[in-house]
């Protein structure tokens, strides 16, 4: 039996925690499958509106993706400036180009303090937070990205939009 996943107070979340559907994703900004799922989640958010609460948790696959942890820490640094979701979207949109040289450009593009964001990433200010989130995923059996939980239960199907919609529809009244 898979563990039940609930929302944590420090989660990155859009929508109401009281929504009919709570979708939790463990993802990696460098994973092509997470990128594909990102497009599907964005569409689900548009379609379901207030019925959906979406939570994103970092699960960088550092053995496969050399910039996975850096990109997660970049998102956290942007979140410290109130722009987590904007950076989240930008990291997936620019996934093929992401590297250390793009961080300042992303910060500038989003209107963030370039100096603060670059300093946070360079000093690895959010390393422990990213590692703690990933360790939580490992603790409940997450091994790959993306891994989804719908209303607390692990989604066993594919991460494409059609599979997610099919799984979610059983919760929609």
Q: What pLDDT digit, counting tens, does each position of 101-133 carry?
A: 999 999 999 999 999 999 999 999 999 999 999
| Tokens representing residue 99 in the block | 């590297």
pLDDT at 172: 72
For range 150-167, the mean pLDDT: 89
In this predicted structure, the answer to whether residue 95 has a pLDDT above a threshold of 90 is yes
d(CA 25, CA 40): 12
CATH number for the domain formed by residue range(s) 13-169:
3.40.30.10
Give the DSSP letter of residue 52.
E
The model carries a pTM of 0.94
Confidence band of 1 (pLDDT split at 50, 70, 90): very low
């Amino acid at each position: 039996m898979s563990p039940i996943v609930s929302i944590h107070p420090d989660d990155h979340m859009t929508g109401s925690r009281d929504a009919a559907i709570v979708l939790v994703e463990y993802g990696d900004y460098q994973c092509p499958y997470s990128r594909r799922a990102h497009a599907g989640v964005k569409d689900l958010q548009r379609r379901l509106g207030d019925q959906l609460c979406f939570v994103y948790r970092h699960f960088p696959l550092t053995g496969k993706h050399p910039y996975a942890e850096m990109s997660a820490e970049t998102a956290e640094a942007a979140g410290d400036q109130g722009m987590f979701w904007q950076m989240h979207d930008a990291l997936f949109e620019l996934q093929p180009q992401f590297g250390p040289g793009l961080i300042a450009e992303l910060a500038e593009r989003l209107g963030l303090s370039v100096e603060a964001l670059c300093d946070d990433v360079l000093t690895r200010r959010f390393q422990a937070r990213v590692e703690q989130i990933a360790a939580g995923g490992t603790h409940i059996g997450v091994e790959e990205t993306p891994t989804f939980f719908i209303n607390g239960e692990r989604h066993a199907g594919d991460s494409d939009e059609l599979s997610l919609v099919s799984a979610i529809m059983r919760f929609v009244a």
